[in-house]
Amino acid sequence: MLVNIENLLRENIKRLTPYSSARDEFKGEASILLDANENAFGSPLPTNYNRYPDPLQGRLKTKISQVKGVPPEHIFIGNGSDEAIDLLFRAFCRPGVDNIIIVPPTYGMYEVSANINDVLIKRVPLTSDFQLDLNGIAEAIDEYSKIIFICSPNNPTGNAINRSDIETLLNNFNGIVVVDEAYINFARQRSFTQELAEYNNLVILQTLSKAWGLAGLRIGMAFAASDIIHVFNKIKPPYNINEASQTLALQALENVDEINTWIKTTVAEREKLAASLSTLPFVQHLYPSEANFILVKMTAPKAVYNYLVELGIIVRDRSSVILCEGCLRITVGTPTENQQLLNALSGYVSVNKEQGNTI
Ligand SMILES: *Cc1c(COP(=O)(O)O)cnc(C)c1O
């Protein structure tokens, strides 16, 4: 369906005159820049950062466009994908009036961003096999529902959401469907990025924080129809991606081969780790993963968590999350780290055996 994006926007956003920076007003080659109150001498660093960065990250977008096969006008770059999530709320959701739909267990930032923006959250839990409850979602939708957030592969469960179910939402929901593909590099399922021409209500989130190994640079991407990208550009902070991040990300994106090798190793290690974990007597279930982590159900998650902490190994306790009762989420590390984790878990078994505890 063709969604009227203009109608979905908040009135104040439609009317907004965006900030116009010095570098927005002058484009082209200049030899003397006396327009932005910068320090003309340079920076007290080996590399100069005295100039404001490109507000629209032209060079970085061109590179991302080549790597992802998405035209630059369909790309927004945010200070982490978390910035794109926040901008979606600010663009489309009227505080205290509109609502969004999330499908727990899922990534926590959708909920936090909704709360920051005073937007009501409707929760439609995933089914027991961690897929969408399409009837439940249909029932939850009302005239104030603006955004549905789907994470695929899903954090913290690790599985991919059925593609045809996401397509059903895209075809039937008169609002924005966000598909968060933070873990797409590890998945068998293909990205939705080639579907952008098909759906003008689709927003795909990806990030350089996971497979690309650049979590510290804070670079997230949103891919969407150019109308939506235009809105993001209008409301984002003018210089949202700093110069160092833009330069370093550009450099990193030249190394696709290295990243692909790491992805292959991570996927192989994930399968190896899963096989070893499944032999541990206290592990009750391993959820199949298409991401770089595994959700593991066990008899006493908190005891295992604390045991690992004592040894300096930190995993994520998800045992109090809906449908994840009894579960820890374990990120796949280097082969050495994974082996150390397994050694520690064997140690946990031995210690309990010696003490005569049943685990
Ligand atoms: C890690 C993660 C992100 C990444 O957020 P950044 O702000 O880009 O680091 C986004 N979505 C999900 C589901 C994640 O797990």
CA-wise closest residue to 331 among 155, 212, 161: 155
Cβ-contact 205, 181 below 8 angstroms: yes
Interval 243-274: pLDDT, tens: 999 999 999 999 999 999 999 999 999 999 99
Domain spans, the chain: 5-19+51-254, 257-354
Helix (H, G, I), strand (E, B) or coil at 224: strand
- CATH topology for 257-354? Aspartate Aminotransferase, domain 1 (3.90.1150)
- Is 57 touching ligand 1 by the criterion CB < 6 Å? no
Substitution candidate for ligand 1 out of 64, 76, 79, 81 with most atoms within 8 A of CB: 81
Q: Which CATH number fits domain 5-19+51-254: 3.30.360.10, 3.90.1150.10, 3.40.640.10, 3.40.50.2020?
A: 3.40.640.10
Query: What is the 305 CA–ligand 1 centroid distance (Å)?
Result: 23
CA of 304 to the centre of ligand 1 (A): 26
Q: What is the pLDDT of residue 190?
A: 96
**60, amino acid identity:** L
Nearest ligand 1 atom to the CA of 82 is 7
The number of residues making up the chain comes to 359
- What is the phi/psi pair of residue 248, to 5°? -70, -40
Paired residues of 327 in beta bridges: 297
Beta bridge partners of 147: 100, 176
Separation of CA 23 and ligand 1 centre (Å):
30
d(CA 13, CA 19) in angstroms, rounded, equals: 13
Any idea which of 17-21, 90-94, 343-347 has the lowest mean pLDDT?
A: 17-21
Put residue 37 in one of left, alpha, beta given phi > 0 → left and psi -120 to 50 → alpha: left
Closest CA to 189 of 216, 156, 172, 166: 166
Q: How far apart are CA 285 and CA 75, in angstroms?
A: 39
The CA radius of gyration of the chain, in Å to the nearest whole number, is 23
Of 109, 51, 54, 107, the residue nearest 77 (C-alpha)? 54
Top mutation candidate among 64, 112, 209, 329 for ligand 1, by most atoms within 8 Å of CB: 209
Write the pLDDT tens digit of every residue in 172-211: 999 999 999 999 999 999 999 999 999 999 999 999 999 9
pLDDT band per the 50, 70, 90 thresholds, residue 28: confident
Question: Is it the case that residue 123 has pLDDT exceeding 90?
Answer: yes
- Greatest alpha-carbon pair distance for the chain in Å reads 77
Q: How far is the CA of 299 from the centre of ligand 1 (A)?
A: 29
Q: Rounded to an integer, what distance in angstroms lies between the CA atom of residue 227 and that of residue 38?
A: 33
- Give the pTM: 0.97
Per-residue model confidence as pLDDT tens digits over 34-58: 999 999 999 999 999 999 999 999 9
* Span from the CA of 39 to the centroid of ligand 1 (angstroms): 35
What integer best gives the mean pLDDT of the chain? 97
Between CA 285 and CA 283 the distance in angstroms is: 6
Ligand 1 contact via 157 beta carbon (within 6 Å): no
* Ligand 1: centre distance to CA 206 (Å): 8
Q: Give the closest residue to 172 by CA, choosing from 114, 87, 101.
A: 101
Q: Closest Cα to atom 5, ligand 1: which residue?
A: 81
Can you read off the two tokens belonging to residue 327? 């579960």
pLDDT of residue 34: 93
Q: How far is the CA of 359 from the centre of ligand 1 (A)?
A: 34
Question: Which residue minimizes the CA distance to atom 13 of ligand 1?
Answer: 107
